[in-house]
C-alpha cells in the first residue's frame, strides 16, 4: 500500500515554529476534510495520490493519502487498508508517521497524516550523495531501530523497510511511513510480501516469518546506505532470491566500510531468524559506541543533516509528480459496508482526487504489483523481474561531511 510518500512526518518531534506542519494536540479541534485545501502532490502510485493539504483555519499542513476503492476491491485488499488504519491508530512514536484522521469518499478512503517536509531518505541520499557516510547512516539506522522496537512492542511486523519508506521531518529526524504491508501477529505469518531486495530468506521460502524479518531488513538498509546498492541486487527477482538464500557472508562490502559496520550487518542478516540481533543487541553494538540513545529518544540529538524547509507549504524536498496520474479504477459500492470505519463526519463535500501513488513492494504472488517502478528500483509481484540501478557512493558529501 502506498503512504504519504514515504511522504509524510510525525509528532513527538518538536515542531519548528517556522513550518507549522506539525501534529496538533489531542485537545485541538478535529480536522475536517472540508477545511482542507490542496497545496500540491507529495507522491503518486498504484493505489492513489498523496497530497499536501493546508487547514484553511490554521494554516497548518498535513499529508492526505487517497486510496482508490476501485483498486482495492479489484485486488481484494479491502481488509488490508482497514488493517493499515488499525495499526496507525495503535502507534504513537516520534519515529513513526502519525495518523490524525480518516475520511470516506465516493471513490477513495483517505488517511490524514502528519507531513514530514524534509522528504524521502532515498531522495535525500540521491541528491546529496550521502551513500558511504557512516555518520549519517548511524543516525538514520538508530531512528529506524526505535521505530521497529515500538512496532514490535505492539506486535506489529512492518515488512517493507527501505529508504523510500523513510521520511525526514523539518528537524532532520527520520520517520517510518506506510503501514500498507504491516501486520499484527504474535506468531508466524506465511504471505510472500515485501520488496525482493529486502526480503528475508524465510519470506522467500514461505516457511513462516515474524518480527525477525524487520531486523533482516534493517541490515539490508544499513548495507545500502553504506554501499549505495542493495546487497542482493541482481538482474531478476529470481536471481535476487538465489543470492538471499546464499547468504550475507557471500556479499562483498565496500573497502572503506568499518569492521564494526560489517559485523552489525552480518548480525542482523543471519540466516536463522532466531539468531538475528534485536534492538537490545543493536543498542549495545560497537558500531554505536558513544552514540547517545537517550538524546535520540528525547529528540535532543543533533541530526547530521538539516533539510531546507522554507515553510509549511514547501514541496521542494519531494520529486515532482504533478503529471503522474494513476489509472482510473471506478468503484461501485456493493453495500457491504467494508469502508464504514473511515467516517467523514458528514463533511465529504470535496471533489474526488484521482487514483495513484508510487512505491515498489510486492504483495502476494497471486496479485498484481502494488507499485510501479520508482527511483530506479523496479519490483513486481513474486516471480516477476526486478532490477536495480546502483547509486554513486559519496566521496566527499556536500552535506555535513561524512
Element containing residue 128 per DSSP (H, E): helix 121-128
Q: Is the pLDDT of residue 22 over 90?
A: no
Q: How far apart are CA 28 and CA 43, in angstroms?
A: 28
Average pLDDT over residues 128-152: 98
Average pLDDT over residues 323-337: 85
Cβ neighbourhood burial of 191 (10 Å; 0-12, 13-18, 19+) = middle
Q: In the prediction, which pLDDT does 322 show? A: 76
Torsion of CA 168, 169, 173, 177, to 10 degrees: -60
The H-assigned helical ranges of 7-77 are 69-74
Location of C-alpha cell 528525547: 298
Cα angle, residue 38 at apex, residues 20 and 98 outer, rounded to 5°: 50
Q: Is the pLDDT of residue 306 over 60?
A: yes
Q: In the prediction, which pLDDT does 296 show? A: 98
Contact 318, 43 (CB under 8 A): yes
Q: In the prediction, which pLDDT does 62 show? A: 98
Q: How far apart are CA 280 and CA 146, in angstroms?
A: 11
Q: In the prediction, which pLDDT does 47 show? A: 84
Contact 245, 232 (CB under 8 A): no
Q: Is the pLDDT of residue 7 over 90?
A: no
146 pLDDT tier (thresholds 50, 70, 90): very high
Q: In the prediction, which pLDDT does 353 show? A: 45
**Residue 123 CB coordination number (10 Å):** 21
Q: In the prediction, which pLDDT does 373 show? A: 31
If you average pLDDT over every residue of the chain, what do you get? 83
Closest CA to 91 of 108, 113, 61: 113
344 pLDDT tier (thresholds 50, 70, 90): low
Q: What 3-state DSSP class applies to 353?
A: coil
Q: In the prediction, which pLDDT does 29 show? A: 62
What percentage of the chain exceeds 70 in pLDDT?
Answer: 78
Main-chain dihedrals φ then ψ at residue 150, nearest 5 degrees: -65, -45
| 107 or 393, which is more confident | 107
318 pLDDT tier (thresholds 50, 70, 90): very high
DSSP summary character for residue 29: P
- pTM recorded for the entire structure: 0.84
250-264, 318-332, 334-348: lowest mean pLDDT where? 334-348
Q: In the prediction, which pLDDT does 321 show? A: 82
Contact 113, 130 (CB under 8 A): no
Q: How far apart are CA 116 and CA 312, in angstroms?
A: 10
**Cα atoms in the Cβ-side hemisphere of radius 13 Å centred on 129:** 8
Location of C-alpha cell 568499518: 258
Q: Is 160 in the active site?
A: yes
Average pLDDT over residues 228-256: 96
Closest CA to 103 of 328, 336, 351, 340: 340
Average pLDDT over residues 283-301: 98
The one catalytic residue in 55, 160, 344, 371 is 160
Q: In the prediction, which pLDDT does 23 show? A: 52
How many residues does the structure list for the chain? 402
Name the residue ranges covered by the structural domains of the chain: 120-297
pLDDT tens digits, one per residue of 85-104? 999 999 999 999 999 999 99
Closest CA to 268 of 237, 232, 223: 223
Torsion of CA 87, 68, 64, 128, to 10 degrees: 90
Q: In the prediction, which pLDDT does 287 show? A: 98
Q: Is the pLDDT of residue 294 over 60?
A: yes
105-109, 260-264, 343-347, 394-398: lowest mean pLDDT where? 394-398
Q: In the prediction, which pLDDT does 20 show? A: 55
Closest CA to 198 of 181, 185, 175, 184: 181
CATH architecture of 120-297: Orthogonal Bundle (1.10)
| 134 or 365, which is more confident | 134
Amino acid at each position: 500500500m502506498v503512504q504519504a510518500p514515504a511522504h509524510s512526518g510525525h509528532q513527538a518531534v518538536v515542531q519548528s515554529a517556522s513550518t507549522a506542519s506539525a501534529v496538533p494536540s489531542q485537545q485541538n479541534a478535529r480536522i475536517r476534510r472540508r477545511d482542507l485545501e490542496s497545496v500540491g502532490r507529495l507522491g503518486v502510485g498504484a493505489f492513489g495520490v498523496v497530497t499536501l493539504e493546508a487547514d484553511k483555519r490554521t494554516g497548518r499542513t498535513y499529508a492526505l493519502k487517497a486510496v482508490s476503492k476501485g483498486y482495492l476491491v479489484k485486488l481484494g485488499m479491502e481488509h488490508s487498508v482497514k488493517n493499515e488504519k488499525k495499526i496507525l491508530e495503535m502507534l504513537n512514536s516520534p519515529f513513526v508517521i502519525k495518523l490524525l484522521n480518516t475520511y470516506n469518499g465516493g471513490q477513495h478512503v483517505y488517511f490524514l497524516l502528519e507531513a514530514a517536509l524534509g522528504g524521502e531518505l532515498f531522495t535525500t541520499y540521491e541528491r546529496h550523495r550521502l551513500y558511504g557516510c557512516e555518520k549519517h547512516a548511524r543516525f538514520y539506522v538508530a531512528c529506524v531501530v526505535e521505530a521497529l522496537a515500538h512496532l514490535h512492542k505492539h506486535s506489529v511486523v512492518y515488512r517493507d523497510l527501505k529508504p523510500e519508506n523513510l521520511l525526514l521531518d523539518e528537524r532532520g529526524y527520520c520517520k517510518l511511513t506506510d503501514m500498507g504491508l504491516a501486520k499484527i501477529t504474535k506468531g508466524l505469518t506465511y504471505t510472500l510480501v515485501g520488496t525482493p531486495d529486502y526480503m528475508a530468506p524465510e519470506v522467500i521460502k514461505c516457511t513462516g516469518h515474524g518480527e525477525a524479518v524487520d531486523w533482516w531488513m534493517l541490515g539490508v538498509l544499513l548495507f545500502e546506505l553504506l554501499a549505495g546498492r542493495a546487497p542482493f541486487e541482481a538482474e531478476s527477482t529470481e536471481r535476487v532470491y538465489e543470492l538471499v538464500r546464499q547468504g550475507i557472508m557471500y556479499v562483498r562490502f565496500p573497502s572503506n566500510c568499518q569492521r564494526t559496520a560489517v559485523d552489525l550487518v552480518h548480525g542482523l542478516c543471519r540466516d536463522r531468524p532466531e539468531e538475528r540481533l534485536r534492538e537490545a543487541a543493536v543498542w549495545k553494538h560497537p558500531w554505536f559506541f558513544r552514540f547517545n540513545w537517550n538524546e535520540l529518544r528525547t529528540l535532543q540529538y543533533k541530526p547530521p543533516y538539516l533539510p531546507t524547509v522554507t515553510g509549511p507549504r514547501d514541496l521542494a524536498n519531494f520529486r515532482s509528480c504533478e503529471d503522474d496520474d494513476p489509472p482510473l479504477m471506478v468503484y461501485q459500492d456493493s453495500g457491504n459496508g467494508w469502508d464504514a470505519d473511515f467516517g467523514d463526519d458528514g463533511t465529504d463535500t470535496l471533489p474526488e482526487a484521482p487514483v495513484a501513488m508510487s512505491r515498489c513492494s510486492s504483495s502476494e504472488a497471486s496479485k498484481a504489483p502494488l507499485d510501479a517502478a520508482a527511483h530506479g528500483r523496479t519490483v513486481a509481484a513474486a516471480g516477476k523481474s526486478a532490477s536495480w540501478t546502483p547509486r554513486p557512493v559519496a566521496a566527499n558529501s556536500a552535506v555535513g561531511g561524512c
